């Protein structure tokens, strides 16, 4: 006998829909996992050192390098070209390097054209400052002032590494002179010119001669430093490496243009893993080169991190204050309902619209007003009247503030009524209750809104293209240098910056060498995801800590 108190399986309404929604969730999670896995594999594959093959083509073939019958390069991919009679015909894509010789970094060849594929033991892979990597067989070293060292000499490898390190030290010295010392002179000259302009505008001509003398002294210092950098740069062409290409011709490479070199076909697993970690660190710590297709992404990581923090610092107070007013102080009625509808609709406005608003309001109106009031001596060069990290952060804060408002309102509404009434009953004012009871208890919900805002804001690109992001920024928006335009010491809010999202867009659609840029797109996307995950993870850990802290207070 069936009890009327027990649920009957045959009478359960909607059980097929439960399975259907579970299937939808499983499919969604699988798609996300597949996407992340593809990005992870393709992103990390960029840094793993590959073997260099020598492919010999059929006799009489002209599909090789420079019309020859050989191809030397790293195998990038194998793909089906076409199908004939149900049988697939494949082609191989080789990364050949030597872009300055072949006018391209990649070469396609039909697999059926290849007679043999070998891994030559004496191939040298060279990372260069310009024109990408070079691949070939070393012939000899030609150090300035000493005899040439053939590649067969036992001293060749150690001498090559020593000369490469010397060239790297000179390159670092040139960078330090041009960025630090000459940069400091340029800042001094700019400050003197501004003071001179103020005196000239005020009619105080007594100091003009002194300012001119200071400018002349700084100019002399500049010319001395520039001459020193020029001398170091000329020495970068003293030591030479002769490399033989698979076409038979020899190329002379100045070691000053060589960043690193290794023997790809001589590396064991441990050495390859060490090279892998070295490549990852270089990618994270270096500046980009060669139209962003070479080098690292450190300025983009730093710019994205600083912009996200500034956006979070702006969006949380604005969103929390608005939510407190709407929930606790505003008289509930038609007008408040319209405001809530407008806030919810703002979350669906395309991001480019916020970019246009930020350009018109923040950059031209607010920034132009600040320039007219506080920085007239900089005219006609704008200070805050142009795109910068401040306006980019403010624009993204405005774009994401609806998320924080909605999340904060829901968190405030979830605070037990008894806690608020108990506070008021003890004599606390309404603001004291909000400050000491409501806000601490709703902090986990507020942080949930912040997490959603950071996740959206960190990956946005369209509005940033209008309000401050650039392809390449020579300096960071945060450093140890103070400028007279800084609203916060050492934080250059007026400065343009690099962003990982825009870096991906630039690599994928604006790169002069799209094939060479594809691996960099995956690698940069991987680290953008990791950065967003790290930022969100920090907020999640803080939220969980606050949730545990106020858990007992909710009962």
Query: Per the structure block, which two tokens stand in for 434?
Result: 């909000």
Q: Which residues contact 332 (CB under 8 A, 6 or more apart)?
A: none
- How much is the mean pLDDT over the chain? 89
Q: How far apart are CA 523 and CA 516, in angstroms?
A: 12
* Residue in the structure block whose two tokens are 């949380």: 316
> Is the whole-model pTM more than 0.75?
yes
Q: Write down the pLDDT at residue 554.
A: 45
Query: Per the structure block, which two tokens stand in for 327?
Result: 């929930």
Q: Which residues contact 231 (CB under 8 A, 6 or more apart)?
A: none
Mean pLDDT (whole number) for 410-428:
88
Mean pLDDT (whole number) for 474-481:
86
Q: Write down the pLDDT at residue 85.
A: 59
The band of 551, judged by pLDDT with boundaries at 50, 70 and 90, is: low
Q: Are 469 and 498 in contact (CB under 8 A)?
A: yes
pLDDT tens-digit readout, 228-248:
999 999 999 999 999 999 888
pLDDT tens-digit readout, 334-356:
888 998 899 888 888 999 999 99
Question: Is 11 or 286 the better-scoring residue by pLDDT?
Answer: 286
The percentage of the chain sitting over the pLDDT mark of 70, rounded to a whole number, equals 95
The band of 4, judged by pLDDT with boundaries at 50, 70 and 90, is: low
Q: Are 445 and 410 in contact (CB under 8 A)?
A: yes
The band of 177, judged by pLDDT with boundaries at 50, 70 and 90, is: very high
Taking phi over 0 as left and psi of -120 to 50 as alpha, with beta for the rest, 490 belongs to: left
Q: How far apart are CA 433 and CA 280, in angstroms?
A: 51
Mean pLDDT (whole number) for 236-265:
92
Residue 544 has pLDDT above 60, yes or no: yes
Q: Are 408 and 447 in contact (CB under 8 A)?
A: no
Classify each residue of 336-353 as buried b or exposed e, where b means 16 or more C-beta atoms within 10 Å of its C-beta: eeeebeebeebeeeebee
Mean pLDDT (whole number) for 115-143:
93
Residue 322 has pLDDT above 90, yes or no: yes
* Residue in the structure block whose two tokens are 């009247």: 385
Q: How far apart are CA 289 and CA 389, in angstroms?
A: 22
The band of 12, judged by pLDDT with boundaries at 50, 70 and 90, is: low
Phi, psi of 171 (to 5 degrees): -65, -40
Q: Which residues contact 452 (CB under 8 A, 6 or more apart)?
A: 400, 403, 407
The percentage of the chain sitting over the pLDDT mark of 90, rounded to a whole number, equals 56
The band of 555, judged by pLDDT with boundaries at 50, 70 and 90, is: very low
10 Å CB burial of residue 132 (0-12, 13-18, 19+) is buried
pLDDT tens-digit readout, 357-367:
999 999 999 99
Q: How far apart are CA 117 and CA 70, in angstroms?
A: 10
Q: Are 187 and 221 in contact (CB under 8 A)?
A: no
Closest CA to 64 of 119, 121, 102, 118: 102
Residue 191 has pLDDT above 70, yes or no: yes
Residue 139 has pLDDT above 60, yes or no: yes
Q: How far apart are CA 387 and CA 499, in angstroms?
A: 14
Mean pLDDT (whole number) for 446-472:
90
Q: How far apart are CA 308 and CA 458, in angstroms?
A: 6
Q: Are 478 and 302 in contact (CB under 8 A)?
A: yes
Q: How far apart are CA 495 and CA 72, in angstroms?
A: 45
| DSSP symbol at 58 | P
Q: Which residues contact 197 (CB under 8 A, 6 or more apart)?
A: 377
Q: Is the dihedral of CA 145, 148, 154, 160 positive or negative?
A: positive
Q: How far apart are CA 70 and CA 62, in angstroms?
A: 9
The band of 1, judged by pLDDT with boundaries at 50, 70 and 90, is: very low
Q: Which residues contact 70 (CB under 8 A, 6 or more apart)?
A: 54, 55, 56, 57, 64, 246, 247
Q: Write down the pLDDT at residue 235.
A: 94
Residue 86 has pLDDT above 70, yes or no: no
The band of 2, judged by pLDDT with boundaries at 50, 70 and 90, is: low
Lowest mean pLDDT among 194-198, 396-400, 448-452, 509-513: 509-513
Closest CA to 63 of 91, 99, 84: 91
CA 454 to chain centre: 15
pLDDT tens-digit readout, 296-315:
999 999 999 999 999 999 99
The band of 517, judged by pLDDT with boundaries at 50, 70 and 90, is: confident
Q: Write down the pLDDT at residue 348.
A: 85
Mean pLDDT (whole number) for 382-410:
94
The band of 519, judged by pLDDT with boundaries at 50, 70 and 90, is: confident
Residue 426 has pLDDT above 80, yes or no: yes
* Residue in the structure block whose two tokens are 């990982």: 500
Q: Which residues contact 301 (CB under 8 A, 6 or more apart)?
A: 284, 500, 527, 531
Q: Are 493 and 390 in contact (CB under 8 A)?
A: yes
Q: How far apart are CA 529 and CA 539, in angstroms?
A: 15
Residue 508 has pLDDT above 90, yes or no: no
The band of 62, judged by pLDDT with boundaries at 50, 70 and 90, is: confident
Q: Write down the pLDDT at residue 34.
A: 95
10 Å CB burial of residue 115 (0-12, 13-18, 19+) is exposed
Mean pLDDT (whole number) for 384-398:
95
Q: How far apart are CA 121 and CA 145, in angstroms?
A: 30
Q: Where do the H-state alpha helices sit in 46-76?
A: none
The band of 408, judged by pLDDT with boundaries at 50, 70 and 90, is: very high
Q: How far apart are CA 506 and CA 463, in angstroms?
A: 15
Query: Per the structure block, which two tokens stand in for 412?
Result: 């405030």
Classify each residue of 277-307 as buried b or exposed e, where b means 16 or more C-beta atoms within 10 Å of its C-beta: eebbebbeeebbbbbbbbbbbbbbbbbbbbb
Q: Which residues contact 319 (CB under 8 A, 6 or more apart)?
A: 401, 403, 404, 405, 407, 408, 449, 453
Closest CA to 254 of 141, 132, 344: 141
Query: Per the structure block, which two tokens stand in for 201?
Result: 């505008």
Q: Write down the pLDDT at residue 7.
A: 52
Q: CA dist 459 to 466, 475, 528, Å?
A: 15, 22, 8
């Amino acid at each position: 006998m069936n009890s009327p108190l027990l649920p009957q399986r045959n009478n359960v309404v909607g059980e097929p829909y439960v399975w259907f929604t579970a299937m939808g969730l499983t499919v969604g999670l699988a798609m996300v996992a597949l996407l992340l896995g593809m990005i992870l594999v393709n992103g990390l594959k960029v840094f793993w050192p590959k073997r260099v093959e020598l492919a010999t083509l059929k006799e009489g073939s002209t599909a090789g390098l420079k019309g020859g019958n050989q191809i030397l390069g790293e195998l990038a991919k194998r793909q089906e070209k076409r199908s004939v009679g149900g049988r697939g015909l494949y082609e191989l894509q080789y990364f050949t390097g030597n872009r300055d010789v072949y006018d391209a970094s990649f070469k396609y060849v039909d697999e059926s054209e290849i007679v043999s594929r070998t891994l030559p033991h004496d191939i040298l892979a060279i990372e260069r400052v310009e024109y990408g990597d070079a691949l070939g067989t070393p012939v000899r070293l030609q150090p300035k002032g000493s005899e040439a060292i053939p590649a067969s000499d036992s001293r060749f490898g150690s001498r090559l590494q020593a000369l490469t390190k010397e060239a790297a030290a000179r390159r670092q010295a040139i960078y330090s002179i041009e960025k630090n010392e000459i940069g400091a002179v340029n800042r001094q000259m700019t400050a003197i010119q501004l003071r001179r302009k103020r005196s000239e505008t005020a009619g105080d001509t007594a100091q003009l001669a002194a300012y001119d003398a200071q400018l002349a002294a700084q100019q002399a210092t500049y010319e001395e430093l520039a001459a020193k950098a020029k001398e170091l740069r000329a020495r970068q062409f003293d030591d030479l490496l002769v490399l033989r290409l698979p076409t038979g011709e020899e190329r002379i490479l100045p070691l000053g243009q060589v960043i690193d070199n290794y023997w790809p076909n001589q590396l064991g697993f441990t050495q390859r893993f060490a090279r892998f970690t070295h490549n990852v660190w270089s990618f994270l710590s270096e500046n980009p080169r060669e139209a962003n297709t070479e080098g690292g992404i450190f300025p983009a990581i730093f710019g994205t991190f600083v912009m996200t923090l500034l956006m979070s610092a702006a969006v949380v107070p604005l969103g929390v204050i608005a939510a407190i007013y709407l929930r606790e102080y505003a008289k509930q009625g038609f007008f408040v309902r319209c405001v809530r509808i407008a806030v919810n609709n703002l979350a669906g406005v395309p991001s480019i619209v916020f970019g246009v608003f930020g350009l018109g309001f923040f950059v031209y109106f607010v920034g132009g007003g600040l320039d007219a009031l506080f920085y007239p001596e900089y005219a006609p060069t704008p200070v805050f009247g142009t795109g910068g990290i401040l306006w980019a952060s403010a624009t993204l804060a405005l774009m994401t503030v609806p998320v924080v408002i909605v999340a904060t309102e829901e968190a405030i509404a979830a605070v037990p009524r008894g806690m608020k009434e108990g506070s008021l009953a003890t004599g606390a004012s309404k603001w004291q209750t909000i400050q000491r009871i409501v806000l601490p208890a709703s902090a986990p919900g507020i942080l949930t809104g912040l997490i959603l805002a950071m996740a959206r804001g960190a990956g946005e690109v369209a509005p940033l293209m209008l309000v401050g992001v650039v392809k390449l920024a020579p300096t960071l928006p945060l450093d140890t240098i103070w400028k007279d335009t800084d609203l916060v010491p050492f934080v250059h809010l007026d400065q343009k910056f690099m962003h990982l999202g825009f870096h991906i867009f630039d690599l994928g659609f604006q790169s002069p060498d799209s094939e060479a840029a594809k691996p960099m797109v995956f690698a940069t996307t991987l680290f953008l995801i990791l950065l967003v995950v790290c930022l969100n993870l920090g907020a999640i850990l803080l939220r969980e800590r606050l949730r545990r802290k106020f858990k007992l207070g909710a009962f």
